[in-house]
Homo-oligomer: A and B are copies of this chain.
Amino acid sequence: MEARVIIVTGIPGVGKTTVLRELLKEAGKKGARLNVVNYASIMLEMAKEKVKGVGRDDLRCMPIDLQRALQMEAAERIEKMIAESPETIVDTHMIIRTNQGYWTGLPLKVLRKLRPSLFVLIEAELSEIVDRRLKDKKRKRDEVLIEEVKEEMGFSRFVAASCATLTGAPVKILKNPAGKQVEVANQLLSTIQKLRGA
Chain A residues within 8 Å of B, Cβ to Cβ = 62-66, 68, 71, 95, 98-104, 106-111, 117-120, 151, 154-155, 157-173, 191, 194-197
Contacts and interface: CB of A to CB of B under 8 A. Distances in A.
B100 A196 contact: no
A196 B166 contact: no
A108 B165 contact: yes
> How many copies of the chain does the oligomer comprise?
3
A161 B159 contact: yes
B165 A166 contact: yes
A148 to B, nearest CB: 11
Contact of A171 (B102, B168, B172): B102
Contacts of A64: 117, 170, 194-195
A159 B155 CA distance: 11
A56 to B, nearest CB: 19
Nearest to A119: B101
Given A101-B120, A104-B164, A108-B168, 16 more contacts: A63-B195, A66-B197, A100-B170, A100-B194, A101-B119, A101-B172, A103-B170, A104-B161, A106-B165, A107-B165, A107-B166, A108-B165, A155-B161, A159-B164, A161-B162, A162-B162
B154 A157 contact: yes
A180 to B, nearest CB: 16
Nearest to A96: B170
A74 to B, nearest CB: 13
9 closest A-B pairs by beta carbon, nearest first, are A101-B172, A158-B161, A63-B197, A107-B168, A101-B170, A162-B165, A103-B170, A162-B162, A159-B161
